[in-house]
């Protein structure tokens, strides 16, 4: 229990020590903590079959997990049924149930477009980048005359601790419907079937012209089934590579390498690629990710690139860092040179590298005292790396220069960005960070803040104009010296900061969500028109 308590408190080092000490006892709790810590090598020899199966599943050996339960005579347990169902839906070519709706009147093609979005989570219950991007897209579509209705996954948001939710939320005029059956399906496939049934009910009410499934493959499976039942064309928006995010979640280089070659990764890649090839059109966020999709067999002509956009209201914000700090009543000194980010605090974001770079700048005797004495680090947000980063700040002797206010209300997030003199995105070099573009640099540019990002393909895209000229600073991913040098270039040169702020804001003005909408409209019309032409030719 001590190991579990330490883990829940965010002290993974203590949790590991307690786990090693408790391993000989072979307790069930010790086995579960070994799985949580990604240290299945410390699994007690007499760990229960359920824990062993969970360890195999966590390591990406999906078939091995199911087989281990079968071998232990537990093939009929709810756990075994859940895992076997997950395996089934990851089979290439697998189809969900798609009951026939009967004859539907054709959806009129001459009226404004209506789109049914199949998504994972949403506002107001989730404030993630995924949910915020979705809402920005739907509100921008509405301003362009396209009506949207969004359906979230089965059981959400009850399953994330919001039991007193409504069946539908309307935010800024956007409707978010929930899939909340009286009895939740016992397996992943049963829950997807429940979502299909709810989506089909919405089809008869909303009469969409297009279905829009957004990452991951489970939403695509639902869109595929609804399309099969109704004939409505569908598109697949690939916002990230699920398998790479999962690989990055592992805690060590060794476990990440093992995860990368696992059955789970192979199955996810094959399943998502197959669904993307079947969709009428594919939308993605970066050229890097588009190249990956082409490598996986998706025709380039069917891929539409829609980068992260920015809210036009950001361009009208004009607070100085000092004024933003005063508005927030933060403890960051008025005359500080504040570097940092508003972000989830997770390992691959690389904020440990940022803290070490900041310590190096503060200790650099070649820097003018008037500069290095004013350096402060601001990290706004929460996540599993929060306690580790605070501990590192103490270790480096910069705790008095480190400000971590935790998670802040969505409405004040932009003010925290404006409280920074330089926004830093020091992501580590992992496959997920090489391919997925974050929203943070785009918003920082729109708010007139110079940015430093790791020199990785997806991040480099965010700080280049259409001619390929840099509008931000690059630093070698994972390099303390390189990051310190890039940050120093900006904090020691107010004119350089001003120049990049102006160029970045001008480029951000070309990347507003309203400007991005024409790309979505083009994708919608292409599949809707293609579907209409195929129907006519079929007649």
Q: What is the mean pLDDT of residues 18-29?
A: 68
Per the CB < 8 A criterion, the answer to whether 487 and 340 are in contact is: no
pLDDT of residue 112: 87
Domain boundary among 243, 271, 305: 305
Containing domain of residue 397, as a range?
318-511
Q: How many domains does the chain have?
A: 3
**Looking at residue 339, which CATH number applies to its domain?**
3.40.50.2000
CB-CB neighbours of 224 under 10 Å: 23
Is the residue at 520 inside a domain? Answer: no
**145 and 291 fall within a common domain:** yes
Per the CB < 8 A criterion, the answer to whether 269 and 261 are in contact is: no
**286 and 327 fall within a common domain:** no
Is pLDDT of 146 > 60? Answer: yes
Is the residue at 522 inside a domain? Answer: no
**147 and 235 fall within a common domain:** yes
pTM value? 0.87
Report d(CA 80, CA 486) in Å as an integer: 51
* pLDDT tens digits, one per residue of 209-221: 999 999 999 999 9
Is the residue at 529 inside a domain? Answer: no
pLDDT of residue 101: 67
Report d(CA 392, CA 346) in Å as an integer: 14
Report d(CA 469, CA 449) in Å as an integer: 17
Is the residue at 105 inside a domain? Answer: no
β strands within 160-302, DSSP E: 168-171, 174-179, 210-214, 234-238, 281-284
Q: How much of the chain is in helix, strand and coil states, percent to nearest 5?
A: 55, 15, 35
Report d(CA 117, CA 102) in Å as an integer: 22
* pLDDT tens digits, one per residue of 479-536: 999 999 999 999 999 999 999 999 999 999 999 998 899 999 999 999 987 765 555 4
Is the residue at 352 inside a domain? Answer: yes
Is the residue at 96 inside a domain? Answer: no
Residues 6 or more apart whose CB falls under 8 angstroms from that of 195 comprise 118, 151, 153, 154, 179, 222
**301 and 344 fall within a common domain:** no
**345 and 436 fall within a common domain:** yes
**180 and 223 fall within a common domain:** yes
Strand partners, 338: 376
Per the CB < 8 A criterion, the answer to whether 504 and 445 are in contact is: yes
**329 and 282 fall within a common domain:** no
**381 and 347 fall within a common domain:** yes
β strands within 432-515, DSSP E: 451-454, 473-475
Nearest to 69 by CA among 48, 38, 45: 48
* pLDDT tens digits, one per residue of 407-460: 999 889 999 999 999 999 999 999 889 998 888 999 999 999 999 999 999 999
**340 and 486 fall within a common domain:** yes
**252 and 369 fall within a common domain:** no
Is the residue at 22 inside a domain? Answer: yes
Mean model confidence pLDDT for the chain: 92
**295 and 330 fall within a common domain:** no
Domain boundary among 240, 270, 305: 305
Sheet with 234-238, strands from edge to edge, namely: 168-171, 174-179, 147-154, 114-118, 210-214, 234-238, 281-284, 303-305
Is the residue at 530 inside a domain? Answer: no
Domain boundary among 305, 339, 360: 305
- DSSP helix/strand/coil, 384: coil
**257 and 337 fall within a common domain:** no
Tokens linked to 283: 């939308």
* pLDDT tens digits, one per residue of 461-488: 999 998 989 999 999 999 999 999 999 9
């Amino acid at each position: 229990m001590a190991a579990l308590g330490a883990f829940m408190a965010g002290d993974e080092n203590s949790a590991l020590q307690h786990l090693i000490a408790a391993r000989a006892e072979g307790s069930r709790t010790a086995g579960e903590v070994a799985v949580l810590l990604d240290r299945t090598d410390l699994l007690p020899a007499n760990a229960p079959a359920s824990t062993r199966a969970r360890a195999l599943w966590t390591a990406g050996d999906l078939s091995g997990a199911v087989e281990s339960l079968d071998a232990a005579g537990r093939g009929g347990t709810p756990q075994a049924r859940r895992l076997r169902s997950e395996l089934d839906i990851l089979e290439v070519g697998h189809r969900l149930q798609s009951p026939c709706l009967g004859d539907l009147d054709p959806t009129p093609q001459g009226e404004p477009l209506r789109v049914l979005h199949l998504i994972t989570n949403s506002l107001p219950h989730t404030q993630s980048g995924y949910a915020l991007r979705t809402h920005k897209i739907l509100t921008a579509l509405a301003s362009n005359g396209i009506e949207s209705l969004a359906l979230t996954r089965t059981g959400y948001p009850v399953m994330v601790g919001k039991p007193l939710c409504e069946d539908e939320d309307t935010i800024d005029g956007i409707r978010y419907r929930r899939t909340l059956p009286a009895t939740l399906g016992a397996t992943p496939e049963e829950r997807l079937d429940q979502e299909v049934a709810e989506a089909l009910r919405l089809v008869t009410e909303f009469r969409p012209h297009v279905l829009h499934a957004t990452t991951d493959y489970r939403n695509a499976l639902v869109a595929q089934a609804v399309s099969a039942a109704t004939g409505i064309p569908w598109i697949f928006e690939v916002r990230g590579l699920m398998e790479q995010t999962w690989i990055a979640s592992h805690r060590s280089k060794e476990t990440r390498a093992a995860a990368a070659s696992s059955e789970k990764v192979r199955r996810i890649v094959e399943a998502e690629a197959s669904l993307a090839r079947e969709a009428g059109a594919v939308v993605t966020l970066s050229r890097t990710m588009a190249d990956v999709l082409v490598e996986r067999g998706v025709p380039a002509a069917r891929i539409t690139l829609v980068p992260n956009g920015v809210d036009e209201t950001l361009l009208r914000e004009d607070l100085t860092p000092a004024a933003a700090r005063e508005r927030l009543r933060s403890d960051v000194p008025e005359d500080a040179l504040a570097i940092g980010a508003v972000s989830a605090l997770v390992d691959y974001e690389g904020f440990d590298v940022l803290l070490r770079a900041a310590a190096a700048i503060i200790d650099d005797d070649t820097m003018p005292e008037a500069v290095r004495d004013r350096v402060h680090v601001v990290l706004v947000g929460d996540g599993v790396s929060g306690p580790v980063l605070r501990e590192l700040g103490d270790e480096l002797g910069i705790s008095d220069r480190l400000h971590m206010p935790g998670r802040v209300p969505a409405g004040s997030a932009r003010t925290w960005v404006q409280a920074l003199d330089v926004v830093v995105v020091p992501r580590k070099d992992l496959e997920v960070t090489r391919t997925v573009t974050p929203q943070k640099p785009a918003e920082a540019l729109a708010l007139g803040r110079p940015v430093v990002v790791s020199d990785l393909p997806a991040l480099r895209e965010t700080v280049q104009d259409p001619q390929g000229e840099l509008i931000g600073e690059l630093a070698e991913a994972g390099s303390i010296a390189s990051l310190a040098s890039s940050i120093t270039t900006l904090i020691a040169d107010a004119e350089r900061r001003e120049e990049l702020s102006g160029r970045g804001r001008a480029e951000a003005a070309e990347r507003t969500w309203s400007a991005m909408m024409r790309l979505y409209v083009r994708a919608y019309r292409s599949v809707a028109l293609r579907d209409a032409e195929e129907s006519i030719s079929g007649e």
